[in-house]
Structure 1
Amino acid sequence: MKQTDEDKAADTPARGTDGASAVSGIDEPFIHLRDTGRFLDVLASLKCSLALSRRPSGVALLGVDNGVPTLSACLLPRSMGMTVSGNRLAVATIHELMIFANVSNLAPLYPARPNHYDAVFVPRVSYYTGDLDLHDMVFDRHIVLAVNTRYSCISVIDGYFNFTPIWQPPFVTDFGPDDRCHLNGMAFHDGKVRYATALGETSTPFGWRKQMATGGIVMEVPSGRIVASGLSMPHSPRLIGGRLFVLEGGRGHVLEIDAASGAKRVVAALPGFTHGLAEYGGVLFVGLSRLRDKRGPQGLPIESESTSLVAGVAALDARTGEVLGTLQFENGVDEVFDVQVMPNILRGEILSPWQWAETPSIATMKGGFWQQRPREEDEPAS
């Protein structure tokens, strides 16, 4: 994206109780952000924050307070898909699905920074799933539905089993941890999964890799009917205002797809591998990533633009596709894996289980408090 004189740069501390360099995953004390356009103005006008699952690894909460970006982050082991519902945030990691709760009434009392935060997300439940490679997720009342990429299915995760498969593409003829089609996205609407994306129509272990550049598909659920094909690494299908949006990562595109005819229309072309899509207040927030150098050339159309790709988030007008602005991470973040909107939060914090253990929040029906460890000199003599 061409930068203009209106571009704004900000050096924003990556706040976290385990230190800025550890939070960012690098040895630099600050994460440098660049707003190309009106991204921060749009986020501020919507009075919301974004939760970002990012690489190297971890979750960041991004907001705007009095025109200044706020960024809080925590390290988690290979963070992937996320979902938000009310005061709950679910995050998939390498072997667990963690659920965080916002202790909003305790947030202003957080001892590390009193009278600042309007939300603090703390770990509350952890499901030990094993390595499922979870992508898109959604809260469905009291359970979590997740796209279980490793086992080529959509699963329920509720603690009774490691997972319970409820749907898989009809062309997948076996069941096991061999990622047969790289099922990765689902569009959940009105209490049902309506569409799903995969990187290939294959039923051999890791067979999708041979056609990943152009073999992507969008399927109807539960029928399995293929709605669209020939896509380059599709992700993040979403039904928004009756329209089916899909991200085509291998081309850096946001697509609108006609579910009846399969016709594809490019809504926007963006300067990054597109992965992670959320809508709020008529604005589409799209995750952007640089390509993974360790994989080498994959034949993706976007590889010809690899030197100009960025990691960040783009804001688009959902009606017209106009790019309202892009917030770029100039260091500390290589990929944005997922994007979720957190309404009515401006200054959020998220604590990893290790951070929370240092200063636990205790929330009950009768109230709550932050439990600080006593100093050694304060302990009674024995």
Structure 2
Amino acid sequence: MPDASMQTDHPEAEPSDAWSPLINVRDTGRFLQVLEALGCTLAISRRPSGVALVGVENGVPTLSACLLPRSMGLAVTHDRIAIATARELMIFANVRSIAALYPERPDYYDAVYVPRHAFYTGDCDLHDMAFDGQLVLAVNTRYSCICVIDGYFNFTPIWRPPFLKELTADDRCHLNGMAMHDRKVKFVTALGTTDTPYGWREGMAGAGVVMEVPSGRIVASGLSMPHSPRVIDGQLYVLEGGRGQVLRLDPVSGASTVIATLPGFTHGLAAYRGVLFVGLSKLRQKRGPQGLPIEAEGELMAGVAALDQATGEVLGILHFFNGVEEVFDVQVIPDIKRAEILAPEQWYRTSSVVTMEGGMWERQPQEPVEEANG
């Protein structure tokens, strides 16, 4: 079963007895109402570690979560979720045809995601990712490049900023985000334009950039820790984490409009039917003051905000009170309300077998009892 539970201010939202109380949340505003009206589930990559799936049905939130080693970037497509971990890229498949037969909770789930592939990438610090058919495109932050992951190599670099002279494993500019458009990487974000090992750290508070791909042209500069660029309805959005803001950028002039200012470090952006979902994080206290503008705002929260895309109005915030310090990425899974996700060790105990001819759940067989010598 999942490793987390959900408690909210909703009187009907009672946590399952099988869930340990590791995650407690509160809906401030109309977050759950909006999520239910959209008929979708959110996939949330969280720290300390793990991925949570959050949906709503009949006003009651549903939550599934699994522990994974240092979960980071996410990608979602039809019945697949890609999750970057410490040294792997894991692909989970929705065994939709047998989801309702899941033995741990029959006749409940409309999706159950199980591990299907694992690519051993090495320590790449993968951030934003996207499916391109059977391939995965990923921002390889440690190697400062955009790469393809397909299993032929650990990864295949396909683009890096023009100010970088060579491929090295020392995070020279903290390339972190990418915006897809027409199945191509159109824009990327980085925390600096330095070409020295970890050189971006010195100016991290205000040297961030948005770049165009493949030209490398700098669209906007002087940003405070930009992340999660997205092309949404033909417009470019980016999160300025160091200010807790959501920006809309003119890709020609670089002029920015502040859509919203939120009570957390903004990281992770997804859009669905006129609503923007924005990940919010607390600052990492072990790093101490970093000179970020948002440090003056007092205590920050970890959670996910729902914004009206047209006006920037905050419709609600799902506030994590414990078990989550950071939200690393947010993705939308359409047309799913009750989803489960099984980490490998969970799947080993109750594995699924699906072929073109159908599927079934297999419980781990019991060890045979040895007969006594007679």
Amino acid at match of 2:362: Q
Mapped contact 1:9–1:32 kept (Cα < 8 A):
no
Superimposed CA distance per residue, residues 42-98 of structure 1 (whole angstroms, 9 cap, x where no aligned partner): 000000000000001000000001100111100000000000010010000000000
**3-state SS in 2 of match to 1:105:** helix
Instruction: Please give the alpha-carbon distance, in whole angstroms, between the structure 1 residues aligned to 2:85 and 2:336.
Output: 24
Match of 1:310 in 2: 301
> Is the aligned partner of 1:255 residue 2:247?
yes
What does the per-residue CA deviation read over 1:181-200, in whole Å, with 9 as the maximum and x for residues that have no partner?
A: 00000000111110000000
Q: Which residue of 1 aligns with 2:81?
A: 89
1:143 aligned to 2:154? no
Contact persistence 1:14–1:31 (CA under 8 A): no
Where 2:363 maps in the other structure, the secondary structure is: coil
Whole-Å separation in 2 of the counterparts to 1:170 and 1:13:
51
Letter in 2 for 1:44: E
Which residue of 2 is the match for residue 284 of structure 1? 276
Distance 2:328 2:371 in 1: 51
Tell me the distance in 2 between the aligned counterparts of 1:323 and 1:149.
31
User: Is 2:279–2:303's contact at 8 Å kept on the other side of the alignment?
Assistant: yes
- 1:341 matched to 2:328? The reply is no
Q: Is 1:361 aligned to residue 352 of structure 2?
A: yes
Aligned position for 1:26: none
CA distance in 2, matches of 1:9, 1:331: 18
**For residue 54 of structure 1, what is the aligned residue in structure 2?**
46
* Deviation of the 1:150 alpha carbon: 0.2
On the 8 A contact 1:12/1:70 being kept in 2, the answer is: no
Q: Percent identity?
A: 68
Query: What letter corresponds to residue 182 of structure 2 in structure 1?
Result: D
1:112 maps to what in 2?
A: 104
Q: Does 1:223 align with 2:215?
A: yes
CA distance in 2, matches of 1:168, 1:12: 48
Match of 2:225 among 225, 230, 233: 233
SS of the equivalent of 1:80 reads: coil
Matches within 5 A, 1:21-170: 21=20, 29-170=21-162
What are the Cα deviations for residues 245-303 of structure 1, in whole angstroms up to 9, with x where unaligned? 00000000000011010001100000100000000111000000011111111000001
Q: How many angstroms apart in 1 are the aligned matches of 2:77 and 2:370?
A: 44
* C-alpha RMSD of matched pairs (Å): 1.7
Matched-pair contact (CA < 8 Å) for 2:95–2:112: yes
Q: Report how many residues are paired.
A: 364
C-alpha distance 380-47 of structure 1, shift in aligned 2 (>3 A): farther
Change in 2 beyond 3 A, CA 1:12/1:89: farther
The structure 2 residue matched to 1:205, chosen from 191, 197, 200, is 197
Q: Does the Cα contact within 8 Å between 2:10 and 2:60 map onto a contact in 1?
A: no
Residue 328 (structure 1) aligns with: 319
1:12–1:31 Cα contact (<8 Å) kept: no
- TM-superposed CA distance for 1:115, in Å, is 1.0
2:14 and 2:291 mapped to 1: Cα distance? 36
Distance in 1 (CA, whole Å) between partners of 2:142 and 2:22 is: 35
Determine the C-alpha separation between the residues in 1 that align with 2:16 and 2:320. Answer: 12
* Unaligned ranges ≥5, structure 2: 1-7
Distance 1:30 1:130 in 2: 29
Partner of 2:3: none
Q: Is the 8 A contact 1:122 1:351 kept in 2?
A: yes
Q: Which amino acid aligns with 1:35?
A: D
Paired amino acid for 1:105: S
Q: How far 1:330 sits from its partner (Å)?
A: 1.0
* TM-score, with structure 2 as normaliser: 0.94
Tell me how far apart the structure 1 counterparts of residues 35 and 279 of structure 2 sit (CA, whole Å): 15
